[in-house]
Amino acid sequence: MHNCKTTRDLMTELLTEGAATPTHELLIELRCCSECREEFDALKNTLYVTTRTIESVAPPDEYWSDYHASLRRKLLASRAPAVTPSEPSWWARLFKTSVPVPVPVGLALVLLFAGALLYTSRASTTKQQQEPTVVRMPVEVPVIQERVVTRTVYRDRYRTVVLRTGSKVNDQSTLARSQKSDVVPATLIGFKPIEQIKLTVIKGGTGNEK
Amino acid sequence: MTDRETELISEADLIRLAQADDTDAFCQLAERYARRIYLLAFHYCRNAQDAEDLSQEVWLKAYQSLTGFRCDASFYTWLRRITINTFLNHQRSRSFLRQGQTTIAQFLALDANTTSIPSDLASEKAIFNKVLFENVMNALAELTPSQRLIFLLRHYEGMSYEEIANAMNCSVGTAKKSVWRAIVKLRSRLEVVESPREETLAELATEH
């Protein structure tokens, strides 16, 4: 069944693709419909005439000699170095003078300059900070506290007597024995001397004691 | 160097010489392709003087970048790429000096003695051809410069849609649409004229 719209789509595809001859499928459709055939011929002719017209706009041969002469001049001008009108003054040359510097050297110079700038800015900041300022604030200082323990040892007169006589004394402390109301005779049964004893002797007490 | 010798020099030799800064060799290359580049430029900007400037700018750019040309593609393919880029740059900057278009009448009047357009307009056939020519040119004028360029690249330069899309920085669909729009416009313009007979078209083609 012929469909003019489908056929025109086929034509569109064919002509935009630039094919010169219709496909087999399109040929079958074109044979069925004279209108489609006319349309196809018209489109083909349009493209043909257009292409010819595009080419016909080309200028005549006489034009091209001038064209190429002009182009040659432009090419030579683009090759030739620019001519300076007059000798520039020394200060103008100073501003225009450039020195070729290797990239690493240039980079090192830039880094050096940046470092110097940074150093200068930091130095000025430090100087500002050195000005004296009074800051009052509570500070907690740890102090080592020395504790003095005083131990009072009472000398037993009786014990001294016993020790002198070579008798043994009880291991009960003099203090404990003094606290007792009744005086127990000294004995050294079960006495074990302690390894180290520190005695602080307080002189004085009674008037005739040294 | 005689003309005969010039003809004998192959394109590859000319390119090699031109790359070695031989301006004469480059001018010979330009002579081979100047007409095609000019036609593209003329239909793109539709002004004879702008077309001359634009096409010469293409040649200058090609001359300056010739050292970068590797023989991977043909010289004309490379040149066409430069041409398209130059055109697109002009379109972006809109730097055409002349805003007006060279009209058909001006074109015919200026070149009546030299172009292949018949100067004797008395005959019916000549009038018909002139009208046909005007209609085609006017139909092309109705397109945007990009659409016109895409149409020219497809139907005059024979580039594929992929190549066009790549060169014009657009999609293949856009390129196809531009071509079809141009065909439809041309078809409607030429419909106004009596449907040309095949033999008339063939004569027109021969004349032009």
The residue type found at A143 is: V
Residue B88, H or E segment: helix B75-93
Q: Burial code of A1-37, b = ≥16 C-beta within 10 A, e = fewer? A: eeeeeebbebbbebbbeeeeebeeebeebbeeeeebb
Q: What is the CA radius of gyration of chain A?
A: 63
Contacting residues for A18 by C-beta, under 8 A, at least 6 apart:
B154, B155, B158
Min distance B134 CA to chain A CA atoms (Å): 9
d(CA A87, CA A98): 17
d(CA B26, CA B66): 9
* Spatial contact of A60 and A66, defined as CB atoms under 8 Å apart: no
Q: ipTM surpassing 0.90, yes or no?
A: no
pLDDT of B60 reads 93
Q: Write the pLDDT tens digit of every residue in B16-69.
A: 888 888 889 999 999 999 999 999 998 888 888 888 999 999 999 999 988 888
* Chain B from 104 to 163: CB within 8 A of any A CB: 107, 111, 114-117, 132-133, 136-137, 139-140, 152, 154-156, 158
d(CA B98, CA B41): 14
| Cα angle: A21, vertex B129, A12; to 5 degrees | 30
Nearest CB to A16; choose among B176, B190, B195: B176
Mean per-residue pLDDT pooled into runs of 10, chain B (208 residues): 59 88 89 91 87 91 89 87 89 58 55 48 71 84 88 88 90 89 84 52 46
Nearest CB to B132; choose among A49, A67, A70: A49
The residue type found at A8 is: R
Torsion of CA B3, B6, B8, B10, to 10 degrees: -160
Six-digit token string for A43: 């489109």
Contacting residues for A20 by C-beta, under 8 A, at least 6 apart:
none
* Spatial contact of B18 and B66, defined as CB atoms under 8 Å apart: yes
Q: Write the pLDDT tens digit of every residue in A63-107.
A: 888 999 999 998 888 876 655 556 677 777 777 778 888 899 989
| Cα angle: B55, vertex B132, A44; to 5 degrees | 85
Q: What is the pTM of this model?
A: 0.58
pLDDT of B112 reads 47
Q: With beta carbons under 8 A apart, name residues in chain A contacting B17.
A: none
Q: With beta carbons under 8 A apart, name residues in chain A contacting B195.
A: 38, 42, 45
Look at chain B and count its residues: 208
Nearest CA in chain A to B148: A54
pLDDT of A91 reads 77
